[in-house]
Amino acid sequence: MNTRMSRKSSFVNHKRRCPGPVRRRAAALLPALLLLLASCGGSSSTGAADALFGTISSAVPTDEAALADGKTVILYFGDAQPEGSISEYEDFADLVKRARKAAPDADFALQCGDITNTGGAPEEWNAFFAAAAPAFEGLPLLSAPGNHEYTATAYDYGAKPETWLEAFVLPDNGPAGYKEEYYSFDCGDVHVTSLSANYLDPAEAYSGDEAENEEIAARIDAWIEEDLAAADRPWKIVLMHQPAYPLVGDSTQAAMAARWIPLFDAAGVDLVLCGHQHEFMRTFPLKAGREDEGGLVQVMGNASQKYYSNSDPDLDFVAFEMGVSGWHIITATAGKLTVEAYDADGRGLDYWEKTRTA
């Protein structure tokens, strides 16, 4: 297990305890198979995963509700896929329950994808929802698609995360042909942009035709640029599965460095949430890969029993790293954004904050 601590005074360990039970309400029409996904500031699709999961339904927090106490609170979870048995989803559900006790005022939750090992397997999805639906009851959850959501049914150009799309109801304000795989929403003091980085993998590009693929990729890039430029909330958060700054690099990250990181930097993205590499990790503030106090910070999460430990120990952008399972609490006010990292038992591991004056 590798642990890297910050070399800057603003990054300190911090523990938070928020006692008291979480108030719950009935949200599941089918107790084992339902979970909310909705936004607070964007339109959402009305389709439901009738074949597998029934109707997904729950109240959506409004800006007024999110800001009633002067802050927006988000729970963040990394990969949930089991290492061995699907019974491990019960461990994930327990983790969610502990996270909600730690942050009973959470307005919504985010998750970075790779929920299952085999994205087209109904038994895995059913086991996940059976465990997770009661844990998330009454709390909105929004997800980005992971590579396991795509490659389970077809590892090929243009493959869609079909079962993932059936399972969740997400904002449908993304680019034509890729709605829900890409989307954004506003809630309180944050603007969230959710992306599918899977198409950046040359093996899973939008199209096998080089010219067509470049045209689609350019349209997606334009949507990202326009969405981030139009955001008018104090803080901009990007959610996606693969990291922009990985512990182990690959062709997906190389494409991201060329296409998306310049867009994030130009738009002033504050926080990138990711997973994929099954570690807890936080970077120093970065712009174009170099430390810059005005740059973005990437937070990698892991909410599974699966761990990797093959990272490069000499990466100079890593402020904190640990091979654990757990959750993050993100709190935003008009003038401050904070991220707290906890392990599965609720022990505080890491803390980062960014402040800004009007």
pLDDT digits (tens, 9 = 90+) for 156-177: 678 899 888 888 888 889 999 9
Q: Is the pLDDT of residue 263 over 60?
A: yes
Residue 217: pLDDT band (50, 70, 90) is: very high
pLDDT at 52 (0 to 100):
52
Give 109: exposed, middle or buried? Use CB within 10 Å, 0-12, 13-18, 19+: buried
225 versus 278: which is more confidently predicted?
225
Query: What DSSP line would sit under 131-185, residue for residue?
Result: HHHHHHTTS-EEE---HHHHHTT--STT---HHHHHH---B--S-TT-BTTBEEE
pLDDT recorded at residue 309: 67
Residue carrying the six token digits 């591991």: 349
Sorting pLDDT into bands at 50, 70 and 90, what band is 252? Answer: very high
Taking a C-beta distance cutoff of 8 angstroms, is the pair 120, 84 a contact? no
Beta bridge partners of 54: 49
Residue pair 92/344 in contact by the 8 Å Cβ criterion:
no
Interacting residues of 114 by C-beta distance below 8 A, sequence separation 6+? 79, 80, 81, 146, 147, 148, 149, 241, 275, 276
For residue 54, the model assigns a pLDDT of: 37
Cα–Cα distance list, 241 to 1, 24, 131, 268 (Å)? 22, 29, 22, 20
Of 25-29, 178-182, 189-193, 343-347, the range with the lowest mean pLDDT is 25-29
In this structure, what DSSP letter does residue 18 have?
-
At position 302, the amino acid (one-letter code) is N
Kindly tell me if the per-residue pLDDT of 49 is higher than 60: no
User: Residue 156: phi, psi to the nearest 5?
Assistant: -160, 170
pLDDT (0 to 100) of residue 68: 72
Domain ranges of the chain: 63-355
pLDDT in tens, 50-68: 345 533 333 446 667 666 7
Between residues 7 and 128, which one has the greater pLDDT? 128
Mean per-residue pLDDT over the chain, rounded: 82
Task: Tell me the pLDDT tens digit for each residue of 121-133.
Answer: 888 888 898 889 8
Calculate what percentage of the chain has a pLDDT beyond 90.
Answer: 59
Confidence band of 297 (pLDDT split at 50, 70, 90): very high
Tell whether the model's pLDDT for residue 87 goes beyond 80.
Answer: yes
Q: What is the CATH code for 63-355?
A: 3.60.21.10
Q: What pLDDT, on the 0 to 100 scale, is given for residue 153?
A: 47
